[in-house]
Structure 1
Amino acid sequence: MSKQPTIVFCHGIWADGSCFSKVIPALHADGHEVISVQYGLDSFEEDVATVKRTLNRVGSPVLLVGHSYGGATITAAGVDERVVGLVYIAAVAPDAGETVQDQLDKFPSDIFSRVEVADGRAWMLPNGTEFFAGDLSDEDQKLVWATHYPPVFDLFHQQKLGADDIAWRSKPSWYVLATQDHTVHPDLQRWVSGRMGATVTEVASSHVPMLSQPAVVIDVIRKAAAAVREASPQKKVAIV
């Protein structure tokens, strides 16, 4: 493979595609086609369908990049033959029959004490940003809260993927592990990245390293893009 892969970003909850705004320009400068998916956090099925529709709008091969809950969407959508690699950023990564909530329950984190459910959606309270983006400035944390987008309250209970729907079992993967994360527990990140056999880069960051330490995230994406460009992806041995 010699063609530069297209980079497709998938966001988490309390966010939209603009959360990758600090890393996209550098990838554009490298010559990548880049798009950040805008899904509605109304249902996992529809969010994955939106990722797949986005794949129809860009060139292939594709490197999928998922932050937080976005790790679940790239796990499902990444089985598409146009996808050649996966990058997870402080993300969950369900296996067959496993929901995001199943994973979060294994390693509880602090953020969910700062959440309220109203009008069928899970809203982050203003003081929740310290657990979500605590290494950003106060001004930037206020901006994160002012623009945060809440998911439907049961979104994390909806993922029930089949054995053939798990992209990290057959595609190469990279993982940015945020060691100061109070949203997706660092021990959960270690567990999922180890299970998938990902190439791991640790960063002393909150849950949003693409905002607080974008240079690290850019470097990992560049390495992943170079790896998938140099060789056709190999089928990975099933992890049991």
Structure 2
Amino acid sequence: MTKPGIVFAHGLWADGSCFGKLIPTLQAERHEVMASQHGLDSLATDVAAVTACLGRVPGPVVLVGHSYGGTLITHAGTDPRVAALVYIAALAPDADETSQSQLAKFPTTEVFSHLDAPQGRIWLKPSGLKYFAGDLPEAEQKLVYATQGAPVADLFNQKVGGTAWKSKPSWYVLATQDQTVHPDLQRSVSKRMNATVTEVTSSHVPMLSKPDVVLDVIRKAVSAVSKS
């Protein structure tokens, strides 16, 4: 039997390489895997980029989103090819919310005090790395910095339609030491979507600092999809 496909959606200050510790293992387990490379230019085009990847892997698809990628899979996940959602320290706005309005409910100041915004793009400063990915070795933190994607300034205030977690089974990796998306916000959104939650002692990037934990959660979602 063809195994479920897996599509990843990255967040801010990242690109698809942030899943580099997960993809080779999943490929070795005979999954077709794609990591969406979206430009952080608009919410609509980023959702479209994730949706385009759904056609590059066999269905059913497990859709995995980190941080702002959770917003993307919430909208793109309404596609009928998507059978399950996995959120990693992620946002998950409802129809009347935006990414920014979710963050405002449980604000963090650490990372957001270490940003530059030239020419309408928001860049993470080197000084913000310890708050964003502080449990990684220094060399890996530098790689995160070098591969960051800079969003347009109003990206988090944009809206599109669709709330996939209302109809699709969901899993959630909750990073308890996160200084970017507040752990209490993660608890709130994961409870609201009735997700199966796995807590991990991690910064905002558990797919890099605790990849085995994240892989285990993805495997549980795959198993549930395979049995359905």
Same fold (TM over 0.5): yes
Which residue of the partner structure matches residue 163 of structure 2?
166
Distance across 2 between alignment mates of 1:160 and 1:52: 13
Alignment pair present for 1:214 and 2:217: no
Distance across 2 between alignment mates of 1:116 and 1:149: 13
Letter paired with 1:19: C
Letter paired with 2:115: V
3-state SS in 2 of match to 1:200: strand
Letter paired with 1:220: V
Which residue of the partner structure matches residue 34 of structure 1?
33
CA deviation after TM superposition for structure 1 residue 56, in Å: 2.0
Deviations 1:123-174 (A, max 9, x none): 111110011000001121122112211111111000243xxx1000000000
3-state SS in 1 of match to 2:59: coil
Q: Which moved more, 1:144-153 or 1:197-206?
A: 144-153
TM-score by length of 1: 0.92
3-state SS in 2 of match to 1:227: helix
Distance across 2 between alignment mates of 1:11 and 1:102: 20
The match for 2:188 among 188, 191, 198 is 191
The match for 1:224 among 191, 205, 221 is 221
Tell whether the 8 Å contact from 2:43 to 2:160 is kept in structure 1 after alignment: no
Which residue of the partner structure matches residue 140 of structure 2?
140
Distance across 2 between alignment mates of 1:54 and 1:160: 18
Distance across 2 between alignment mates of 1:58 and 1:141: 31
The runs of 4+ residues in structure 1 deviating greater than 6 Å are: none
Distance across 2 between alignment mates of 1:189 and 1:3: 33
Tell whether the 8 Å contact from 1:3 to 1:229 is kept in structure 2 after alignment: no
CA RMSD of aligned residues (A): 0.9
TM-score by length of 2: 0.97
Letter paired with 2:217: V
CA deviation after TM superposition for structure 1 residue 57, in Å: 2.2
Which residue of the partner structure matches residue 157 of structure 1?
157
CA deviation after TM superposition for structure 1 residue 52, in Å: 1.3
CA deviation after TM superposition for structure 1 residue 67, in Å: 0.3
Q: Gapped runs of 5+ residues in structure 1? A: 232-240
Alignment length (residue pairs)? 227
3-state SS in 1 of match to 2:144: helix
Q: Which moved more, 1:97-106 or 1:152-161?
A: 152-161
Which residue of the partner structure matches residue 90 of structure 1?
89
Distance across 2 between alignment mates of 1:187 and 1:53: 32
Tell whether the 8 Å contact from 1:17 to 1:37 is kept in structure 2 after alignment: yes
